Amino acid sequence: MSYIDMGNTLRGDEFMIDRNELTSLVKLLDDPDEHVFEHIKSRLVSLGPEIIDFLEDVWQQSLDALLQERIENIIHKIQFNEVKKELNLWLLGGAFDLLSGILAVNKYQYPDLDEQKIINQIDTIKRDTWLQLGYEMSPLEKVKVLNHVFFHIHGFSGNTVNHQDPQNSYINLVLESKRGNQISLAIIYSLVAQKLDIPIYGVNLPQHFILAYVDEQERLLPGFEAVNGVIFYINPFNKGFIFGRKDVDFFLKQLKLPQRDEYYEPCSNIEIIKRVFRNLISSYNKLGYLDKVEELEELLQVVESH
């Protein structure tokens, strides 16, 4: 969002903001009285993203470290509120579009995210895959093509060196570095597949995240037992390794966990976003960024409340 300078007013997307009021409020930001600051901060935050450009201009022109710090704090709070708003809208709209949900998550750390760039990057992988797909291919053949394009042509792989790095959870960085954790790679992989009408969806397995190829009409593959339409599983963290239900059984047995349906079947987009938030909370907690942990827990609560 941006504002249009109209003399003494700034016109945002929804309302007019008096520039004189803004200037007066900003002049009070370096007041040593915390109560005064909190009152001014609350008022500025309530004006929303329309004033961010104005605040950034003030920040650039100021040599006052306290004023700059407080402006940064206010801008961050405005942007944080926008992420909450975007998540709420996504949830109220049915959470059908996984990409929109993950973009909202990304904006927590990267508020000026170039969404179109991410869409274009995913479309490029889709196009490269589509060029190699045949009409009569079996599910296994389609996945082999996807794996070739995703892991060999585009070079994606699991980040085994810095697996706990929070950067592994931000899709814009994963698309650039081609390194990610289980869930970020699975999200990109499944988004590409679904754009090609290949029914691949996320499975919320404990301590791991995998994908399921779901097709009620497809005949069973030799050695694979299809249940509830899932004909096989894919591990994007391991170059798209394909495996069956018995392998999931064995994995759960190792973890001494029961064989619940939710560990075998596709999960909702909401569950995927929850998992991403939990990963980020865990990563930042280990790094000692407790302010980020607190904010991400608040965003997770927004998702869990629906």
Dihedral sign from CA coordinates of 107, 111, 115, 117: negative
- If asked whether residues 50 and 180 sit together in one domain, one would say no
Into how many domains does the chain fold? 2
- If asked whether residues 149 and 71 sit together in one domain, one would say no
Non-local (6+) Cβ contacts of 188 within 8 A are 122, 125, 156, 171, 174, 175, 180
Return the H-helix or E-strand segment holding 287.
Answer: helix 269-287
How confident is the prediction along the chain (306 residues), in pLDDT tens digits per residue?
333 343 444 444 444 567 788 888 888 888 888 888 888 999 999 999 999 999 999 999 888 888 899 999 999 999 999 999 999 999 999 999 999 999 999 999 999 999 999 999 999 999 999 999 988 899 999 999 999 999 999 999 999 888 789 999 999 999 999 999 999 999 999 999 999 999 999 999 999 999 999 986 655 555 555 567 899 999 999 999 999 999 999 999 999 999 999 999 999 999 999 999 999 999 999 999 999 999 999 999 999 998
Non-local (6+) Cβ contacts of 44 within 8 A are 22, 25, 26, 51, 55, 74, 78
pTM: 0.88
- If asked whether residues 11 and 125 sit together in one domain, one would say no
- If asked whether residues 147 and 214 sit together in one domain, one would say yes
Domain end among 24, 58, 92? 92
Q: Does residue 11 sit in helix, strand or coil?
A: strand
CATH of the domain at 79: 1.25.10
Domain end among 92, 126, 153? 92
What phi-psi label fits residue 156: left (phi over 0), alpha (psi between -120 and 50 degrees) or beta? beta
Non-local (6+) Cβ contacts of 82 within 8 A are 48, 49, 107, 111
Residues 221 and 5: their CA atoms lie apart, in Å, by 64
Question: For residue 181, with 0-12 CB atoms within 10 Å meaning exposed, 13-18 middle and 19 or more buried, which class applies?
Answer: buried
Structure tokens at 22: 């803004």
Domain end among 33, 63, 92? 92
CB 74 within 8 A of CB 44: yes
